Amino acid sequence: MISYELGVEDLADTRFTFSPINETVLSLRVLRDPGVHALHLPWRRTVLEQLDPADVNLLLLLVGPRLTLPDFLTPRPAVFAPSFDDELPGLLATPVDVIRRDVAAAYTPSQPPASLRADDDRDIAALRDRIGAALRRYWTIAIEPVWPQIRLILEADMTYRARQLAVGGARLLFADMHPHVHWRDGVLSIDRMISDFRVASAGRGLLLIPSVFAHKPAGPVTADMPPSLTYPSRGVATLWAPPAPNPAALASLVGPAKARLLGLLGEPLSTAEIARRVGVSPSAVSQTLQVLHDSGLVTRARSGRQVLYRRTTLGDQLLR
């Protein structure tokens, strides 16, 4: 359990922020263990199709057996709403002894894999640079395209929490944050933490960081770090829900037949199955599928004696 004794000055200096690099790193847990947050499975499937396997192998090694992450990968935001480019240089400047300590802590009580261990400081520095480069590529592919939607969710959560604080004080602010978070008699407690300490904030305030990829609350690993709490954001269930498409508008753009097939191909289907569902001949379906495939709106792959068609990411975007 982590406990913070918060005085009047600490509550007065309680602030919210969010962190692109923290979200990027926390999302690695979803790649490592899809059961952590089932709501992110559609995103996970799409992302894994685009990532370099070498980057995936390196980044997933950073997630410990208990889904712990080296603390240097999730730095405390220095300003409100920093950009990824604001935060990455700080990560790349992490001292090598801190990297060794944090990697070892993430794997405790086991040993980190050999590829994350080195005696020579230059090897650790080189590892840090490889991690930074892989995170940069991962951010560009996996998080940056959906960052506007993620940011909206985080900002909505902060607006809600600010209102809770205004209406009911600290008790209401923390009341529905998470079952592991408790506020009582001026002490904020976070249950079921790997770390175990109780500290007085002593005027250092409290930084609250909502996250769409956090599956439970998390605080700093050590008691000497400034008080902060990363917690699961409200509204995550709406993050990947596509806006309701307007079939009439799409039909006007690409024609009724193509629009209907695009609507069906959210799952892999054969030509015969599509023809059965729409009530036309397989040859007519094949002609339409060929046009959609040539336009990059559907993809196809052989499965035994059948060819299965499915909407591409471009097709998803057009449908939305």
Residue ending a domain, choose from 238, 259, 294: 238
Same domain for 49 and 77, yes or no, is yes
Q: Is the pLDDT of residue 289 over 90?
A: yes
For 303, the 3-state DSSP assignment is: strand
CA distances from 216 to 118, 291, 297 (A): 32, 46, 38
pLDDT at 202: 65
Same domain for 190 and 273, yes or no, is no
Same domain for 228 and 273, yes or no, is no
Which of 285, 231, 239 lies closest to 258 in space, CA to CA?
285
Q: What is the pTM of this model?
A: 0.72
Mean pLDDT, rounded, for 24-37: 92
pLDDT band (50, 70, 90) for residue 128 = very high
pLDDT at 245: 57
> How much is the mean pLDDT over the chain?
89
Query: Is residue 199 packed enough to be buried (19+ CB in 10 Å), middle (13-18) or exposed (0-12)?
Result: middle
Dump pLDDT digits (tens) for 78-108.
888 899 999 999 999 999 999 999 999 999 8
Which of 219, 214, 217, 218 lies closest to 236 in space, CA to CA?
214
Residue ending a domain, choose from 218, 238, 258: 238
pLDDT at 291: 92
For the chain, what's the residue count?
A: 320
The Cα 316–Cα 302 span in angstroms is: 21
Residue ending a domain, choose from 238, 261, 296: 238
pLDDT at 237: 86
Same domain for 97 and 220, yes or no, is yes
Dump pLDDT digits (tens) for 146-160.
999 999 899 989 989
pLDDT band (50, 70, 90) for residue 218 = confident
**What's the domain count of the chain?**
2
Nearest-5° Cα angle at 242, 43 to 232: 55
Of 26-30, 162-166, 193-197, 198-202, which one has max mean pLDDT? 26-30
Domain that holds residue 294: 247-319
Where b means 16+ CB within 10 Å and e means fewer, 100-127 reads bbbbbbbbeeeebeeebebeeeeebbeb
Same domain for 72 and 200, yes or no, is yes
The dihedral through the CA atoms of 115, 117, 193, 6 has a sign that is negative
Alpha helices in 216-312 (DSSP H): 247-254, 256-264, 271-278, 282-294
Same domain for 274 and 187, yes or no, is no
Same domain for 197 and 272, yes or no, is no
Same domain for 269 and 136, yes or no, is no
pLDDT at 107: 93
Same domain for 29 and 178, yes or no, is yes
DSSP-assigned beta bridge partners for residue 2:
190, 197
Q: Is the pLDDT of residue 7 over 90?
A: no
Q: Which residue has the tokens 């263990």?
A: 33
Mean pLDDT, rounded, for 220-233: 84
Q: Across the chain, which distance is largest between two alpha carbons, in Å?
A: 75
**109 preceded by cis ω (within 30°)?**
yes
Lowest mean pLDDT among 66-75, 173-182, 199-208, 310-319: 199-208
For residues 4 and 187, the answer to whether their CB atoms sit within 8 Å is yes
Dump pLDDT digits (tens) for 178-188.
889 988 888 88
pLDDT at 244: 58
What single letter denotes the amino acid at residue 79?
Answer: V
Same domain for 266 and 190, yes or no, is no
Which CATH number goes with the domain that contains 288? 1.10.10.10
Same domain for 59 and 145, yes or no, is yes
pLDDT at 246: 65
Same domain for 219 and 260, yes or no, is no
pLDDT at 12: 82
